[in-house]
């Protein structure tokens, strides 16, 4: 059978409505699925989705292209999707997820430093888990530096990237990697003795590099009780509670989300360890916690789940 005969057979086969739908349906599905994934992120811009879907209908179901030119169709649809999303999405104002705290209560933290006298290699070599600390007040600039290392914005992006899929864009990229740039991690700080801060529970806003008070009073004892009574939490003048909003990652990754969130929390933990090392501050990751007890003690919203606690305190000088 020559090429002309082969084409006639295919054309004849696909001229039957039910079989043509079967052949094109199998090829069209992954393409429209890719387009659907991209346009889902911009669901509020219905005109983008409608325009692309109309184009798909014309190309696939009106015989403007035959099965032998499917590669051309794939390229065309990919180009249409890219152009539609870029043109319209970049012209929109970014939707920033607001913290649970009113912004007028926010405390601006000192600007972080992007250099130090300690190399990454030295910090890795000397990193240790520490459970006893000096009781000196933690400097606000040191706490600021640690929070930035954990979840600070490393590149601000005020428009939603065309490749991004999620519920709400959080305004940029951060110091710790995040699957899909969805950034589910939330940081709480139970302050007992930090310069220029009243005792209380605070929450970090990465985009603005601010903290805002959630509740008054020293919460370290409540955190300690929810962490099986581990003394290191109360020994530190402050402690960071790492929490996560799993739904942000579930939006894109479904059942795989929890794995990605825990991987991300590990990256955040290591960032805190290394930054503390450069500041002469000790810390340890405590994962043995009662989640529900912790949520109640700290007044966390239902959307957030505590993952671990990292107490902070200046290191006790070791005898030579």
Give the sign of the dihedral formed by CA 117, CA 121, CA 124, CA 125: negative
Say how many CA atoms lie within 13 Å of 24 toward its Cβ: 25
Residue 35 lies in a domain: yes
Q: What tens digit of pLDDT does each residue of 296-312 get?
A: 999 999 999 999 999 99
Q: What tens digit of pLDDT does each residue of 270-286 get?
A: 999 999 999 999 999 99
Q: Is the pLDDT of residue 260 over 90?
A: yes
Same domain, 9 and 139: no
> What is the C-alpha to C-alpha distance for residues 110 and 99, in angstroms, rounded to an integer?
19
Same domain, 56 and 109: no
Same domain, 114 and 71: no
Q: Is the pLDDT of residue 222 over 50?
A: yes
Residues 6 or more apart in contact with residue 305 via CB below 8 angstroms: 243, 244, 245, 246, 291, 295
Check residues 53 and 239 and name the one with the higher pLDDT. Answer: 239
Looking at 42, 65, 89, which one is the last position of a domain?
89
Residue 263 lies in a domain: yes
Nearest Cα neighbor of 182 from 5, 41, 35 is: 41
Give the sign of the dihedral formed by CA 250, CA 256, CA 261, CA 267: negative
Q: Is the pLDDT of residue 79 over 70?
A: no
Q: For residue 320, what pLDDT band results from cuts at 50, 70 and 90?
A: low
In eight-state DSSP terms, residue 269 is H
The residue range of the domain holding 205 is 103-314
> What is the C-alpha to C-alpha distance for residues 157 and 169, in angstroms, rounded to an integer?
9
Residue 164 lies in a domain: yes
End-to-end CA distance of the chain: 89
Same domain, 178 and 309: yes
Residue 191 lies in a domain: yes
In eight-state DSSP terms, residue 319 is P
Identify the burial level of 108 via C-beta atoms within 10 angstroms of its C-beta, where 0-12 means exposed, 13-18 middle and 19 or more buried. exposed
18: left (phi over 0), alpha (psi -120 to 50) or beta: alpha
Looking at 89, 119, 148, which one is the last position of a domain?
89
Contact indicator for 202, 208 with CB cutoff of 8 Å? no
Residues listed for the chain: 320
Same domain, 141 and 49: no
Same domain, 81 and 110: no
CATH number at residue 187: 3.40.109.10
Give the sign of the dihedral formed by CA 262, CA 264, CA 269, CA 273: positive
> What is the C-alpha to C-alpha distance for residues 75 and 174, in angstroms, rounded to an integer?
33
Task: Average the pLDDT over each of 84-88, 126-130, 245-249 and give the range with the smallest value.
Answer: 84-88
Q: What's the confidence (pLDDT) of residue 74?
A: 63
Residue 42 lies in a domain: yes
CA triple 279-148-295, angle to 5 deg: 105
Looking at 54, 89, 124, which one is the last position of a domain?
89
Same domain, 35 and 157: no
Q: For residue 319, what pLDDT band results from cuts at 50, 70 and 90?
A: confident
Same domain, 186 and 264: yes
Quote the number of domains for the chain: 2
Contact indicator for 247, 303 with CB cutoff of 8 Å? yes
Q: What tens digit of pLDDT does each residue of 10-64 get?
A: 444 344 444 444 444 444 444 444 444 444 444 434 444 444 555 555 544 444 4
Residue 286 lies in a domain: yes
Q: What is the pTM of this model?
A: 0.71
Same domain, 75 and 120: no
In eight-state DSSP terms, residue 194 is B
Same domain, 109 and 85: no
Same domain, 126 and 215: yes
Contact indicator for 193, 248 with CB cutoff of 8 Å? no
Same domain, 146 and 52: no
> What is the C-alpha to C-alpha distance for residues 64 and 60, in angstroms, rounded to an integer?
7
Q: For residue 75, what pLDDT band results from cuts at 50, 70 and 90?
A: low
- 3-state secondary structure (DSSP) of residue 166: coil
Check residues 46 and 109 and name the one with the higher pLDDT. Answer: 109
């Amino acid at each position: 059978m020559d090429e002309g005969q082969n084409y006639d057979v295919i054309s004849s086969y696909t001229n039957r409505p039910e079989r043509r739908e079967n052949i094109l349906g199998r090829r069209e599905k992954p393409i429209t699925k890719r387009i659907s994934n991209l346009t889902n992120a911009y669901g509020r811009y219905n005109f983008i989705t409608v325009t692309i879907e109309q184009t798909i209908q014309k190309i696939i179901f009106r015989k403007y292209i035959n099965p032998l030119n499917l590669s051309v169709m794939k390229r065309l649809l990919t180009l249409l999707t890219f152009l539609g999303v870029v043109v319209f999405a970049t012209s929109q104002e970014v939707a920033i997820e607001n913290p649970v705290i009113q912004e007028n209560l926010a405390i601006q933290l000192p600007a972080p430093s992007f250099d130090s006298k300690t190399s990454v290699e030295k910090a890795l070599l000397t990193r240790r888990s520490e459970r006893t600390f000096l009781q000196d007040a933690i400097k606000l600039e040191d706490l600021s530096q640690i929070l930035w290392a954990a979840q600070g914005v490393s590149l601000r992006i005020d428009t939603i990237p065309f490749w991004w899929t999620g519920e709400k864009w959080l305004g940029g990229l951060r110091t710790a990697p995040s699957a899909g740039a969805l950034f589910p991690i939330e940081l709480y700080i139970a302050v007992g003795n930090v310069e220029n801060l009243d005792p209380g529970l605070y929450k970090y806003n990465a985009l603005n590099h601010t903290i805002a008070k959630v509740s008054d009073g020293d919460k370290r004892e409540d955190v300690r009780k929810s962490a099986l009574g581990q003394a290191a939490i109360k020994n530190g003048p402050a402690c960071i509670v790492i929490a996560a909003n799993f739904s942000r990652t579930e939006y894109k990754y479904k059942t795989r989300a929890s794995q990605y969130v825990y991987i991300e929390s590990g990256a955040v933990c290591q960032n805190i360890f290394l930054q503390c090392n450069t500041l002469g501050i000790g810390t340890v990751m405590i994962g043995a916690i009662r989640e529900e007890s912790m949520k109640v003690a700290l007044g966390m919203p239902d959307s957030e789940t505590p993952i671990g606690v990292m107490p902070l305190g200046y290191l006790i000088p070791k005898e030579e």
